[in-house]
Amino acid sequence: MHRSLAASFGQEFDAIVPAASILGETLIQGLLKTGVVVAVASFVAAHVRQPLLRISLLVAGALALAGGGWGSPADLGKQFLGS
């Protein structure tokens, strides 16, 4: 099985300074994702005036985008309510 899969190491090893390339790509991806979150949050804040609905949308968004460390959105909800 391992011989049928193609090896892929990315483009960073072709750079003159691979560590700087990896660090730069990580920084750019982090800033891009932060910008998307800020843009969506500002859109919601501009169009939703009720504070309770804003909080509900924030919690629903956090539950919908739960990362792999939590297991599932339900697990994140239990941890959120537990703390």
Residue-number span of the structural domain to which 19 is assigned:
13-47
Burial class (CB in 10 A: 0-12, 13-18, 19+), 21: middle
Residues 68 and 81 in one domain: yes
7 domain residue, yes or no = no
Q: How far apart are CA 61 and CA 36, in angstroms?
A: 13
Residues 74 and 56 in one domain: yes
**Residue 8 or residue 51, greater confidence:** 51
Residues 20 and 42 in one domain: yes
Per-residue model confidence as pLDDT tens digits over 47-76: 888 989 988 888 787 767 665 566 677 777
Residues 58 and 68 in one domain: yes
Residues 79 and 56 in one domain: yes
Residues 71 and 42 in one domain: no
- Rounded to a whole number of angstroms, the CA Rg of the chain reads 19
Q: How far apart are CA 83 and CA 19, in angstroms?
A: 39
